Amino acid sequence: MKKEYDIIVVGAGPAGSMAARFAAEQGVSVLMVEKDRDVGYPVRCAEAVGKEGVEEFIEPDDSWIKANINKLSFIAPNGTEAILEINQGAYVLERRIFDYELAKSASKVGVEILTRAYVNGLIFENNKVVGVKYEFRGEQKEIRSNIVIAADGVESRVGRWAGIKTYTDFRDMECCSQITVSNIQIDPSTLYLYFGKDVAPGGYFWVFPKGPDIANIGLGVNGLTGKSKSALAFLNDFMSKNYPDASILTSIAGGVPCAKTLEKISAPGIMLVGDAARQVNPLSGGGIASGMIGGSIAGRIAGESVKRKKPDYILTYDKAWYDRLGRRHIIFDNIKTGVFNFSDEKFNKIAESFNKIPHGKRTLGKLFTLALVNHPALLLDIAKVFVV
């Protein structure tokens, strides 16, 4: 380990690993620190991701692909099922291996990795972040760097210490509870999404297969719903009704900040990536691919900034992210606000109308168009996403 690094990345999830890798590829020194004992564990994720988003960064490998998905099944409150075939495909991952592989890919280009290093403060000089304070095996330590990249997930405390308002409104936080269950029967090529006030008001309920007899089953509800009923209580209700005898292999909780990206994701000496920057698709809650994209952009810019000795160059990251995905996420956020306020009757009607469209002609765009047919402003937003 060196005495100081050009760049320190806090957090070794997908966004952190990609930030570290893309920075190191510019020939600068990078240290990635992780608070937990393991990279990739514990998992706090439903593990579904579009193929395209992953394959931009890593060669597909059977060791971390648990299911190959080609259909989405939307289940309305009255049980009407609308099936959408997806050409581009998706995976259900084994995140504990996937994250490991991403970190390995970063280490291959020279990133040093330190686990069990809990960052608990920043070092400042002339109002610029110049390093981190951390606890390692009971000892308080410090290490300096030109740039700190905060990839510390939904907690997003590192950014706060740099003066950025990172906390998420509790009404936008999707609070999730999930179990991985075995000894069930499920089509391993379909992602199932349930909607409605009985299963997941202000969110959705998912059953994502990880094989023909195993699945991630869980849901997210926002903090407003959580005031009267917790995600765990919804999950228990669903399980006792649908799978009373399932064996539970894993049970986890998690928070997904489902709102548009933070207004500011860089400041002198610091950049935010992944969930910490709220680079989550606010509609789906998916954050693996978008976090990796955010990480890669930040890493590249950070590396170039060090190489060119232009510290201010990192401030161009906000615009680069906005152009690549941030703009889209604002639109998704508007759509989300519409969709999550739908009544059960509305969900039922949408599913029934969608089923009248022939299979070959069903697209996600058409589904949303149906959903928002009485919401002209949102329809315009949809057009922006799927047409422009």
- Which residues, 6+ apart, have CB-to-CB distance to 46 below 8 Å? 176, 178, 206, 208, 216, 218, 285
Please state the closest distance from residue 345 (CB atom) to another protein, in A: 27
Where on the chain is the footprint of another protein (CB under 8 A)? 35-37, 42, 44, 116, 118, 153-157, 160, 167-170, 173, 175-177, 223-224, 226-227, 230-233, 251-255, 257
Return the bridge partners of 128, or none.
125
**Helices 327-339 and 376-386 meet at what angle, rounded to 10?**
140
Q: What backbone torsions phi and psi does residue 67 show, to the nearest 5 degrees?
A: -150, 140
Between 37 and 309, CB nearer to another protein: 37
Residues 90, 108: Cα–Cα separation, whole Å: 27
Please state the closest distance from residue 43 (CB atom) to another protein, in A: 11
Please state the closest distance from residue 96 (CB atom) to another protein, in A: 15
Please state the closest distance from residue 52 (CB atom) to another protein, in A: 28
Residues 183, 214: Cα–Cα separation, whole Å: 7
The helix/strand/coil state of 230 is coil
- Which residues, 6+ apart, have CB-to-CB distance to 99 below 8 Å? 12, 13, 14, 17, 39, 40, 41
Between 110 and 121, CB nearer to another protein: 121
Between 44 and 324, CB nearer to another protein: 44
Between 38 and 213, CB nearer to another protein: 38
**Helices 364-371 and 327-339 meet at what angle, rounded to 10?**
50
Tokens of 288: 């693996």
> Contact 66/215 with Cβ under 8 angstroms?
no
Between 218 and 268, CB nearer to another protein: 218
Please state the closest distance from residue 232 (CB atom) to another protein, in A: 4
Please state the closest distance from residue 152 (CB atom) to another protein, in A: 9
CA distances from 329 to 258, 278, 378 (A): 10, 10, 13
Between 89 and 223, CB nearer to another protein: 223
Between 137 and 359, CB nearer to another protein: 137
Please state the closest distance from residue 165 (CB atom) to another protein, in A: 9
253 torsion bin: left (phi>0), alpha (psi -120 to 50), beta (else): beta
Tokens of 243: 């799978």
Please state the closest distance from residue 275 (CB atom) to another protein, in A: 8
Between 78 and 120, CB nearer to another protein: 120
